[in-house]
Structure 1
């Protein structure tokens, strides 16, 4: 088994080249986290015509032409954290979104899910969304711009760890901790520390280790001629400042941070 990835999550050209090279080498199977849901459809179809099974994970292709797609239901997860956050601010105020891109399925679906959750709270007004291209510094600058332009913002959503870390940095720099509820996705050590301190109030944690493990299992099953589901929703957990030290949260965080014990 080999692992390949572009240097950045926005380098679609390199990912396409890597994928096509794997097909040319006629590998036994491919596990793919697609950077663009439409651009990889043709290459995936070509691989399968060559007898190479493809399992997509985390970020899939649309339409789903892969043999199996494993991922968090990003729309449902984002809707869940949106409703939790809205309740915490009593359904009133203003909110903004920082997304990492609008190219991958995850980048598209998480803001969609968040907005679905917000529809149930008409007292919360949407002021806008910006893209940070996976840059914490850009997310921080965009968050500060939002907060200066809309001083009544009391809720912000970051669609992945870099987005929400940038928001948290802006909140800290502007002295707004406790005044703006911050919600996000994923976890690294910085984000976990911010959740513990209350700078980030809540985050959806996925189970990336389990996702990858199951992807390998499904690929092996396909190679052995076994039937596999077309799509598998993998679990997620809403981790908050209140439950971050619970055994369940520690287990979820350990999916991101090897050896994490709390």
Structure 2
């Protein structure tokens, strides 16, 4: 009798009468995969997919390709839709201004907002506020008239632009002089070269530097650690790499502003899964940042957050 039941269940499964454990597939498109930030975000997405009992179809361009090849993410989304995904989780890159976007499945944005897409929810950092927090970490050690450098990523990336604006709003309020304000790009090696050129070209002493994204922060760290100790500006980095912990211990990094990409990815996937089940999430879900300094880097809560970045 049991054998007959098993054979009947198998027949029902093969004919589609019994749903599989993972009947829903969600497409995931990020800007790239080499940055640790997106690797950690993807871990959160995968864990959330497991908990929500959905499958994933992940297709992302190589890092920076979205900025060099307009609308490549949109082409990837079109492919995912033809493969039958029920929804799309997207960390959006800029589109051409004349592009008409129509996605026939629900879209949840993660990491940054984007008005090109009609999304049901956006899960991200308050980047303007986070840039302000980066500047606030310097208030105890900088006087009015301090000379600071702003190392920018790219003009068409909304998240980093907001961070830069948030930092500058506090810098101007405090009366600091922004003596370097330049774009250095999103490729770590290229950024390092441009950062070195910008710093070496400035004839006076810099008091502080703000590096608002992982590739810039890594490049800035490498440049600053090669500078004589008594000439080093205070470096505030955004995002995280294991090298930054050593920088904090050695006094090269003044502070690190950490997003929580694991939580962002987890919440974004969960929001999309709930949408597909008829329970729309809030239009915006903000995930707080944490300021890490040499004084608090060993606190249990900080250590727990940094554990998500372990390779």
TM-score normalised according to structure 1 size: 0.88
Which deviations, in whole Å up to 9, do the C-alpha atoms of 1:81-115 show, x marking residues without a partner? 11221332234421111122222221221111111
The partner residue of 2:108 within 35, 39, 55 is 55
TM-fit CA distance, 1:41: 7.7
Q: Tell me if structure 1 keeps the 8 A contact 2:127–2:160.
A: no
Gaps of 5+ in 2: 1-55
Partner of 2:88: 30
Supply the distance in 2 between the matched residues of 1:40 and 1:186 (Cα, whole angstroms): 32
Partner of 2:58: 3
TM-fit CA distance, 1:63: 6.0
Residue 158 of structure 1 pairs with residue 216 of structure 2 = no
Residue 130 of structure 1 pairs with residue 182 of structure 2 = yes
Q: Tell me if structure 2 keeps the 8 A contact 1:161–1:191.
A: no
**Bigger Rg, structure 1 or 2:** 2
SS at 2:168's partner residue? helix
SS at 1:242's partner residue? coil
Partner of 2:156: 103
Q: Tell me if structure 2 keeps the 8 A contact 1:206–1:237.
A: yes
Partner of 2:76: 18
TM-fit CA distance, 1:250: 1.0
Supply the distance in 1 between the matched residues of 2:126 and 2:267 (Cα, whole angstroms): 16
Supply the distance in 2 between the matched residues of 1:200 and 1:192 (Cα, whole angstroms): 8
Supply the distance in 1 between the matched residues of 2:230 and 2:115 (Cα, whole angstroms): 39
Between 1:140-149 and 1:207-216, the stretch displaced more is 140-149
Partner of 1:193: 246
User: Superposition pairs for residues 58-73 of structure 1, below 5 Å?
Assistant: 58-62=111-115, 65-73=118-126
User: Superposition pairs for residues 85-104 of structure 1, below 5 Å?
Assistant: 85-104=138-157
Q: 1:188 to 1:40 in 2, by over 3 A?
A: farther
Gaps of 5+ in 1: none
Residue 143 of structure 1 pairs with residue 195 of structure 2 = yes
Residue 112 of structure 1 pairs with residue 165 of structure 2 = yes
TM-fit CA distance, 1:42: 3.8
Partner of 1:170: 223
User: How many pairs were matched up?
Assistant: 252
Which deviations, in whole Å up to 9, do the C-alpha atoms of 1:3-50 show, x marking residues without a partner? 22111134243322212212333410100001127769843xx11xx2
SS at 1:101's partner residue? coil
Q: 1:143 to 1:176 in 2, by over 3 A?
A: farther
TM-score normalised according to structure 2 size: 0.75
Residue 221 of structure 1 pairs with residue 279 of structure 2 = no
Q: 1:86 to 1:135 in 2, by over 3 A?
A: farther
Q: Tell me if structure 2 keeps the 8 A contact 1:37–1:62.
A: no
Residue 209 of structure 1 pairs with residue 254 of structure 2 = no
Q: 1:66 to 1:40 in 2, by over 3 A?
A: farther
Supply the distance in 2 between the matched residues of 1:20 and 1:128 (Cα, whole angstroms): 41
**Aligned alpha-carbon RMSD (Å):** 2.1
Partner of 1:243: 296
Partner of 2:232: 179
Q: Tell me if structure 1 keeps the 8 A contact 2:271–2:280.
A: no
